[in-house]
């Protein structure tokens, strides 16, 4: 098992484009064409995604209204319910071969939670779990959502950490299918204490959190370095 973690930052990218990329990279990880785990970090334009457990009433806003606001809707294969992605939210897609770690989906979800808890800690934000749910909360408010898909013990989809997100978007849905959930962000929790480079520091924190929890060495790569077939280079969650 390689202890290297390839990290690719995509900037702001369309959801459909990134979903296609995830599926392609997961296929290559399954085939062995890629020999190490990957973490894609991205920011999306406004989009609502519907996981396999989505209840129709949890998409609380008609699709026509969402479309009029420029918000796409995608039905996808990850576990969990409905969620929102948008500007100011750091989305991470870990493409991991669990057979090289532990063939245990619940273990992997708890590891993702812990990586995000480790990300928040240096900012003085106490991340916490909530019994019976997947994701990360702080002070009873939800700050990060998690939902994944697994095939042949290779994962894709992942987590969404609210950094500077406009939280009003969550009023358009029942986030993760949890009634009365209160969403928050790092910026809201830190308020006047939020550093100007919060986004950059949050991204660095996620990489360090993954390194700590999974015992890996993160290495930043350009997407082009994964192209060309170089080997060097199910589902769970709440939405």
For residue 97, the 8-state DSSP code is B
Residues noted as catalytic:
176
For residue 128, what is the DSSP state? B
d(CA 65, CA 92): 28
Residue 231 per-residue DSSP state: S
Report the candidate in 48, 86, 85 with the shortest Cα–Cα distance to residue 65: 48
- Provide φ and ψ at 113, rounded to 5°: -60, -45
Q: Residues 26-57, buried b or exposed e (16+ Cβ, 10 A)?
A: bbbbeeeebbbbbbbbbbbebbbbbbbbbeee
| Residue 220 CA: distances (Å) to CA of 167, 226, 230 | 30, 11, 16
3-state class (DSSP) for residue 167: helix
Query: For strand 89-95 and strand 154-162, is the pairing parallel, antiparallel, or unpaired?
Result: antiparallel
Is 142 within 8 Å of 181 (Cβ atoms)?
A: yes
Determine phi and psi for 171, rounding to 5 degrees.
-70, -15
């Amino acid at each position: 098992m390689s202890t290297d973690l390839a990290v690719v930052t995509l900037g702001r990218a369309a959801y459909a484009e990134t979903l296609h990329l995830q599926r392609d990279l997961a296929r290559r990880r399954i085939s062995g064409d890629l020999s190490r785990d990957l973490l894609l970090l991205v920011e999306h334009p406004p989009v609502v995604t519907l996981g396999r457990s989505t209840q129709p009433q949890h998409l609380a806003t008609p699709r026509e209204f969402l479309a009029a606001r420029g918000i796409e809707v995608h039905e996808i294969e990850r576990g969990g319910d409905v969620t929102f992605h948008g500007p100011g939210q750091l989305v991470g897609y870990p493409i991991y071969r669990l057979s090289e770690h532990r063939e245990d989906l619940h273990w992997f979800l708890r590891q993702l939670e812990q990586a995000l808890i480790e990300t928040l800690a240096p900012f003085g934000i106490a991340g916490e779990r909530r019994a019976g749910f997947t994701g990360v909360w702080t002070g009873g408010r939800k700050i990060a959502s998690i939902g994944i898909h697994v095939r042949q013990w290779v994962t894709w989809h992942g987590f969404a950490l609210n950094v500077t997100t406009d939280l009003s978007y969550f009023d358009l849905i029942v986030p993760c299918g949890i009634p009365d959930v209160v969403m928050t962000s790092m910026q809201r929790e830190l308020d006047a204490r939020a550093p100007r480079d919060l986004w950059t520091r949050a991204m660095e924190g996620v990489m360090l959190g993954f390194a700590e929890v999974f015992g890996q060495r993160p290495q930043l790569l350009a997407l082009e370095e994964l192209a060309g077939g170089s080997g060097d280079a199910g589902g769970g969650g709440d939405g």
